[in-house]
Amino acid sequence: MTDVSSTERDVSPLAAELADDVLERFLRYVRIDTQSAYGRSTTPSTAKQLDLSRVLEAELREIGLEDVRLDEFGYVYGALPGAAGAPVIGLIAHVDTSPDVTGTGVAPQLHRDYDGSRIVLSGDETQVLDPEEQPALADKIGHDLVTSDGTTLLGADDKAGVAEIMAAVAYLKRNPHSEHAPLRVCFTVDEEIGAGADQLDLEDFGAEFAYTLDGSGIGEIEAETFNAWKVTVTIHGRAVHPGSAKGKLVSSIRLAADFIAALPRDRLSPETTEEREGFIHPTGISGTGEKTVIELIVRDHDRAKLDEHLALIRGIADVVGLKEPRARLVVAEEESYRNMREVIDRHPRVMAAAEEAVRRAGVEPVHAIIRGGTDGARLSARGLPTPNIFTGGQEYHSLREWASVQDMAAAAATVVELARVWAES
């Protein structure tokens, strides 16, 4: 269809120079199965994540980074010294892929010079990437795209981020004449189960500011996440043999149904909200007559509104409890992560540097919000301001996940420019 020359699709000469290295690394990393798993008590949650961690450890040594180590949790660290007096900048990506879609036997497919038509995935013809359904795909005519064969996810989330950081530090190491800030690299495990940053040793890491490479569409910089809480409602009823239950049985299951039915449905639910609108979402229920446990997640970008959602849950539990005084409802609330914006806003240089770096890479920065969490949310709360930068991957956690090679190269170029921008401050 359209003939797009490589100078048009590459956003800058630097991105063009990095493209082959990013692609080569990306194709290698996605073949390694690193799926994490819920409900395990070990870190990493799955031993196979170490398969990639070991590869990255060896490659960081090969590139020539200092203090390279793989710790007992599967995190890989490395340091690249830089300009004296410049702040130390952290670069973070995660090795694991989503527990929701298989990552065993990923067979990446390279579609050179995309012509804008539907892409039918070769391993499962029911899996189709349709530019009519995906405006981002329609924008990539002339790009080289990578997909899976349709039987697994691709793993651009977050192996695109890993490949981009690796290509960027390799470039900086190869080109020692260019002034850049000292860098600290960390590849984490278990991000997809919400535990990615938990074991990151901030003192040892030694970064003043950091960036995760774990976003999506080209140019996006994200500094806003949900505030996230987990709520467990435990309903204690009274189990009695049904044959002699008259006037005695108190079914916790029926009370749980009343509780769920009282939650808002036409608003405050994931299926009816978007952008900055929050929600209350029941994620699990299990029980018997005697005891039923309901699990919920509560999300809002606005902290005050999040408190209102928590109060609403307590209010519904009270109403259900009042109707049946013999039952006991216990509401337990636990913070999962906080909107990182309040921390990042206190350090305006962090976003300013990211914007400048994206521009120098040849891309117009786009501010996006995350309807979810990211490693940066926990890290920011722990005192390391960490916004999130695009990787060029799309349709995460699905069999139709894909990535543009040129957008991945733009992200790698952004990392190089970021290191340079910070050396000027």
Give which of 12, 20, 50, 9 is closest to 33, Cα–Cα. Answer: 50
Give least dist CB 357 to Zn ion, A: 20
Nearer to Zn ion, 147 or 391 (CB): 391
**CB nearer to Zn ion: pick between 23 and 156:** 156
**Residue whose entry in the numeric block shows the structure tokens 């981002």:** 136
Nearest approach, Cβ of 103 to Zn ion (angstroms)? 13
Return the beta strands (E) in 148-273 as ranges.
Answer: 183-188, 209-213, 220-224, 227-236
Q: How far is the CB of 192 from Zn ion (least distance, A)?
A: 7
Q: Output 114 or 211, the one with its CB closest to Zn ion.
A: 211
What are the CA-CA distances from residue 132 to residues 21, 111, 192, 351, 401 (Å)?
31, 18, 29, 33, 16
**At closest approach, how far in Å is the CB of 176 from Zn ion?**
31
Cα(77)–Cα(243) distance, rounded to whole angstroms?
64
Neighbouring C-alpha atoms within 13 Å toward the C-beta of 154: 27
Tokens standing for residue 194: 């919400």
| Residue 73: partners with Cβ closer than 8 Å, 6 or more residues away | 43, 44, 189, 199
Nearer to Zn ion, 214 or 300 (CB): 214
Tokens of 303: 């902290």
Binding site for Zn ion (CB under 5 A): 157-158, 214
- List the catalytic residue out of 10, 33, 57, 191: 191
Question: Which of 214/395 has CB closer to Zn ion?
Answer: 214
Q: Is 96 a catalytic residue?
A: yes
Nearer to Zn ion, 189 or 233 (CB): 189
Upstream peptide bond of 21 is cis (omega within 30 degrees of 0) = no
DSSP-derived 3-state class of residue 239: coil
Q: How far is the CB of 100 from Zn ion (least distance, A)?
A: 12
CB of 389 to Zn ion, least distance (A): 12
Task: Determine the Cα angle at 424 with ends 419 and 425, to 5°.
Answer: 100
CB of 208 to Zn ion, least distance (A): 23
CA distances from 249 to 99, 165, 287, 415 (A): 40, 61, 15, 63
Least separation in angstroms between CB 32 and Zn ion: 16
Distance CA 141, CA 128 (A): 17
Q: How far is CA 63 from CA 22, 175, 287, in A?
A: 14, 12, 54
Of residues 59, 96, 220, 300, which has the active-site annotation? 96
- Give the span between the Cα atoms of 287 and 274, in whole angstroms: 32
- Rounded Cα distance between 22 and 384, Å, is 27
Nearer to Zn ion, 98 or 406 (CB): 98
Q: In whole angstroms, what is the distance from residue 211 CA to residue 209 CA?
A: 7
Measured CA angle at 375 (ends 286, 220), to 5 deg? 115
Measured from the CB atom, the residue of 95 and 183 that comes closer to Zn ion is: 95
Instruction: Give me the active site residues, please.
Output: 96, 191
